[in-house]
Amino acid sequence: MQDQDLSRRQLMRWLAASPLLSTLSAQAEIGSLNRQVLKRPDPMVWAPNTPLDLISDPSQAINVFDFEPVAFNKVPTAHFAYMASGIDDEVTLRANRSAFLNYALRPRRLRDVSKIDMSLSLFGKRWDTPIIIAPTGGNRAYHPEGEIAVAKAARAGGYLNVLSSAAGSTIEDVIAARQGEVWFQLYATSSFEVSKQIAKRLDRAGVPVMEITVDRNGGRNQETFARLKRLDTRDCASCHTHGFGSRYERPIYDGIDFTDVKSMSSSNMTWEFIRRMRDVTRMKLIVKGIQTEEDAELCLKYGVDGIHVSNHGGRSEDGGRGSIDCLPEVARVAKGKVPILFDSGIRRGSDIFKALALGATAVCVGRPYLWGLGAFGQPGVEKVMSLLRTELMGTMQQMGTPNLSAIEPAMVART
């Protein structure tokens, strides 16, 4: 029996490298084997590859990749696939990781790094770390406690938490679970009136900052999602009673008049939307999804309070540039004028350091904490964030930077 198990594992590892299975065949038997053995959709090669390697407790994790295959085994196939997907050929999804390899670190020596201070101030609030929990939708798809578990993990680690308007929990409940400041990320519809009503609700809840997403304007072809969800035998209608991604699944829309809404997307949004939003809320406004210096200049022209460099984790367009490659040109325009947030592809503390050196004020982490959530709930999220924080501290020590202000652009070289 041991010989048979060994032979089976060797066969499946060979098949994993074969074009025969590269498209994740929808046949039930092969799908079951894929779910147990094959490499995961995230474009990294270091994650545990077989069920024999999987961690059974967050304390066993060595890096954030340890959580992905556990989540893959625990989370319903379609739910995991939605989170893991890029779009089209997933060139941008892969570039978000590979582009970090284009930047090498240039450490400085003989500096006192016996104490590391990672704290920073954002809009008058002091945070212990520049690592932020990014807004991600539908967290209950990965764990029953969803955004509440994430908020509790943010509270335990002292992290800034940004709630998505695609969340399955209310902003009020998340604030109560976080017991502290929570920011909000807005997906605008075709109606400004809907966004205005949401802004008023956020003002009443005491939300200090709203991020307006500007890089999700239309449809998308999520091929990994489409292929993997064929392997999910559940009746989706039992959960998505009004259709996948409908407004009824998003409590931020409860009680809002949708009479004038022609589309749930914001394809009609212009810079005038930013100006009008400034007039209806006291929140600070950050524009999320900026990738060019031209748009960074327009952000400053229209008086935004912050810029978020992001390509939506490779989930909006398949243009090919990694998000880290977009950061320097935005920083040339905006650094020192407004805070610059960054996301897409962060998996290591060294990634965070590179982003900070290239101009980011703080970085947002998305998929890794969802792996932790899907694998172990709140403890998984806490461990993922702790690992990144520990790695960043070690990188700062090796780079000779006792605090964030000591991190300089010259410490990163384009290779």
Q: Which sequence positions are flagged as catalytic?
A: 312
CB 291 within 8 A of CB 312: no
List, in sequence order, every beta strand (DSSP E) within 20-173. Answer: 103-105, 120-122, 125-127, 131-133, 160-164
Tokens representing residue 139 in the block: 């967290």
Cβ neighbourhood burial of 364 (10 Å; 0-12, 13-18, 19+): buried
Task: Please work out, in degrees rounded to the nearest 5, the angle formed at the alpha carbon of residue 147 by the alpha carbons of 142 and 148.
Answer: 120
**Residue among 204, 210, 216 at smallest CA distance from 182:** 210
Please count the residues of the chain.
415
Cβ neighbourhood burial of 165 (10 Å; 0-12, 13-18, 19+): buried
How far is residue 122's CA from residue 208's CA, in Å, rounded to a whole number?
Answer: 11
Give the end-to-end CA distance of the chain in Å, rounded to a whole number. 50
Residues 6+ positions from 316 with CB-CB distance below 8 Å: 87, 215, 216, 217, 220, 289
